[in-house]
Amino acid sequence: MKTAPRTHPNVPGVDQSDRLVPRNLRQSGPTPVQMLISTRVRKSPFWHLSVEAGCWRATVYNRMYHPRGYVKPEDGGAMAEYDALVNRVTLWNVAVERQIRVRGPEAEAFVNRVITRDATEIAPMRGKYAILCNEKGGIVNDPVLLRLAEDEFWFSLSDSDVLLWLQGVNVGLGLDVDIAELDVAPLQIQGPLSEEFMAELFGDAIHDLPYYGLMEAELAGCPVVVSQTGFSGEKGYEVFVRDASLNAELVWYEIRSLGARFGLRVIAPAHHRRIAAGILSWGQDMDIETSPLQLNLAYQVPRKKQSDYIGRAALEAQRAAIDEGRSPFRLKLVGLAMGGKPITDYAPDFWLISTPDGARVGYITSPWWSPELGHNIALGYVPWEMSGPETAFRVELPEAYAERTGQPVDAEVVEVPFRPSKTPSARERAHAAGRDWAS
C-alpha cells in the first residue's frame, strides 16, 4: 500500500537550503510554563536586585538568568517601559553581557585575527562594535569591543559562548595572551536624561566622553569603567562594575538613589527601541549561519584590512559575488513596515512572510509597534531578489494581532533604521551622509 508523501513540518515554502540547521519556523504560539531556577544557570550579582525592583519574567542569555520585564501587562507592560526610555532615563541589568578579557604582549595581534574590522585602529580607552566570524563567514558573536590598554581588550558579549571559542582559536595560534572571564558586570543607563544623570554620578568629565569612549571612575567607593555605549538608539552609557560579586549592591543602590529625581526607572533591555534603530540581536536576527553581508553590516567587513582574519576568504568571495550582481545567499534581512494591531510584546515565533499571491518566502525575526510611526515595524528575512525598497509582502500574524481573523496583513520593505536615533550607529551615520559604508 502506498503511503502519502510526508510534508516537512518546518514550512518548506521558505527556502533555507543554504543552512545546515534551518530556522525553526513552526508556529507554536505562546507557551505558558514556569521557568525553573536552578544552579545549572548562573544568577548575576544583580539578579536579586532586579527581583527586588519588580522583575516578573526572565529568559536565559549566555547561560545566565536575564530579566525581561518589570512593568506588569495590566500596568502598561513593555510599552510603559518604552515611555520611560524615550522620555526620561532608565536602568538595565545587563550582567549577561559577560566580559571576556584578552590581555598580553600579543593581545592586539590576537584580537585582529578574530574580528573582521581592524583592531589596530582602536585606541586605548575607546571601543568599537565588532563582529567575529567563523571560517565560512558566519557570525560567531557581535560584541562591543573595549580596549582598556595597549595590551588589554574586553569582549562585551552577545548571546554565544565566545570564551571557549577564543581559547580554542589560540590553541592553534599560540600567541602570548591570557583569555579569561572577568568578575565585571555591566549596567546600562539609557534615555534622553542619561547624560545629565551620569554627570550627577561621575562629574563633568561625562560631558567630554565621546561615543564609544571609556573612562575609569568610582561610584559608591567601587571601581567602575564607564562607556558611552548602549543597545537602545537613545543617548546612553554603560557602567562596568569591577569585582561585581562584591560591589553590585553598592553601585545599584547608589544609581537608584541618585536617579530618583530624574524619574529613573528600572526596565528590561529595550528591544522595542533597538528594532526602530536597526540594532540587531544575535540569535534572533543573526546567528552562526548568517553573514554580515546578509544583514546590512557590510561596513564591518573592510575591503582594505591589511592583516588576515578568520572568515576573510569566505567573506571576500561573498562580496565579489554581490559586486558582480550575483547573490551568494537565499535570503536577506530587511526592514518592514506592516499592518496589524499593535505588537506590544515579544513574539514567541518567527512569523511567516508571504508574497501578495500567498507563497511563503520568508520570516519575521524582530517585530514591534512604533508609537512614533503609528504602525508595526519588523526586521525579517525575504528572498534576496525581492529585498528592494517598496517590495510588497504579507505577514501571517497571530489572531491577537491580525486585522481580520485568518488573514495576513500587508507589509512593505522600507529603509532601516526606521527612524533616526539620538546616538546613531556607524552604519546609520554613514547612510545619512550618503557614504558607502561597505568600504
Q: What are phi and psi of 133, to 5 degrees?
A: -120, 155
The interaxial angle of helices 194-202 and 244-259, nearest 10 deg, is 120
Fill in the amino acid letter for 260.
A
**234 appears as a binding residue in the annotation:** no
Cell of 379: 526586521
Give every CB contact of residue 299 below 8 A, 6+ residues apart in sequence: 426, 427, 430, 437, 438, 439
Are 141 and 162 contacting, i.e. CB atoms less than 8 angstroms apart? yes
Name the strand (E) or helix (H) holding 107: helix 107-114
What contacts 6, CB < 8 A, 6 or more positions away?
none
Strand-strand pairing, 214-219 and 222-227? antiparallel
- The amino acid present at 245, given as its one-letter code, is S
424, β-bridge pairs: none
**Which residue, 164, 105, 106, 103, is CA-closest to 132?**
164
In the three-class reduction of DSSP (H, G, I as helix; E, B as strand; rest coil), residue 312 is classed as: helix
Element (H, E) at 180: strand 178-181
DSSP strands (E only) in 1-125: 57-61, 64-69, 90-93, 99-103
DSSP conformational letter for 300: G
Total length of the chain: 439
Q: What are phi and psi of 45, to 5 degrees?
A: -65, -10
Asked if 342 contacts 370 with a C-beta cutoff of 8 angstroms, the reply is: no
Q: List the grid coordinates of 322.
A: 554581490
Closest among 135, 292, 261 to 193, alpha carbons compared: 261
Q: In a 3-state reduction of DSSP, which class is residue 393? A: strand
Other Cβ atoms less than 10 A from the Cβ of 88: the count is 17
- Scanning the structure block, which residue is given the C-alpha cell 512572510? 353
Positions at the binding site: 238
Positions at the binding site for substrate: 238
